[in-house]
Amino acid sequence: MTSATEFYVPESVVCERMGITPAEVRELRGAEGGFWKKGANGRILWSVEGMAEFASRWALSASESTVVVQAHSEKKTLVVARVRTARSLHVVPDGAVYDARNPVWLWLPQPKGALFARGMKVAGIQRQENPTIYDFAGNPDRPEKGRRFPRSFGKW
């Protein structure tokens, strides 16, 4: 017996494509059977339709300000000045000088701050409500790759 819906997309791919953590996906994915199911060894597998539905559900649950900012702002090239926490970096616009008393922040969608090195270029989208805060937008040299993180410490 073959079902019309095929479940073959690993949940890690959903996390990577959406740019959110596994915990955030678990919180919003809903009941098993509709768009995802457990595969071998308890691995969560998604259908393509389920990924699309999840993306729309996640967009509705995300804050309006973040969605508006990402839809209407341009990406800027920034340089990492300091890794502040696993989810935040101090950055400066390309060519500017770092001022620790008035830092410019870049927020990461996943706790992967340890992958960033001082002097590394990163793309950011400025928040409209606060000009000193940016949201992570990926590699400025490869914007077509989306919001991917560095492959290893300091390297895209």
Q: Three-state SS across 79-129?
A: EEEEEEECCEEEEEECCCCCCCCCCEEEECCCCCHHHCCCCCEEEEEEECC
Q: Give the residue-averaged pLDDT of 4-21.
A: 75
Whether 38 shows a pLDDT value over 70: the answer reads yes
100 and 44 within one domain = no
- Co-location of 55 and 106 in the same domain: no
pTM, entire model: 0.53
Q: What pLDDT is recorded for position 117? A: 92
Query: How much is the mean pLDDT over the chain?
Result: 80
- Which pLDDT value is given to residue 60? 57
Which domain covers residue 48, as residue numbers?
9-62
Q: With cut-offs at 50, 70 and 90, classify the pLDDT of residue 91.
A: very high
* CA–CA distance, 2 with 12 (Å, rounded to integer): 25
Q: pLDDT value at position 19?
A: 67
Same-domain status, 72 and 50: no
54 and 78, same domain (yes or no): no
Identify the bridge partners of residue 80 per DSSP, sorted by sequence position. Answer: 91
Q: What is the enclosing helix (H) or strand (E) of 4?
A: none
Specify whether 74 is located in the same domain as 97. Answer: yes
Last residue in a domain, options 38, 62, 86: 62
Q: 80 and 14, same structural domain?
A: no
Q: Which of 91, 84, 112 is nearest to 20 (CA)?
A: 112
Last residue of a domain, one of 62, 79, 102: 62
Average pLDDT of the segment spanning 96-120? 89
Q: What is the pLDDT of residue 156?
A: 85
Distance separating the N- and C-terminal Cα atoms of the chain: 45
For residues 97 and 89, what is the distance between their CA atoms, to the nearest angstrom? 15
Based on the fold, state whether residues 84 and 23 are members of the same structural domain.
no
**Residues 76 and 127 reside in one and the same domain:** yes
Verify that 43 and 84 share a domain, yes or no. Answer: no
pLDDT at 114: 92
What pairs with residue 123 in β-bridges?
A: 77, 138
Which residue, 45, 62, 79, sits at the end of a domain?
62
Do 113 and 90 belong to one domain? Answer: yes
> How many other C-beta atoms lie within 10 A of the C-beta of residue 44?
19
Task: Determine what percent of the chain is predicted with pLDDT higher than 90.
Answer: 15
Same domain, 103 and 129: yes
pLDDT tops 50 at residue 67: no
Q: Which pLDDT does position 62 carry in this prediction? A: 52
Q: State yes or no: pLDDT of 78 exceeds 90.
A: yes
* Domain count along the chain: 2
Domain containing 135 — which CATH number?
2.40.50.140
Looking at the fold, whether 119 and 98 belong to one and the same domain comes out as: yes
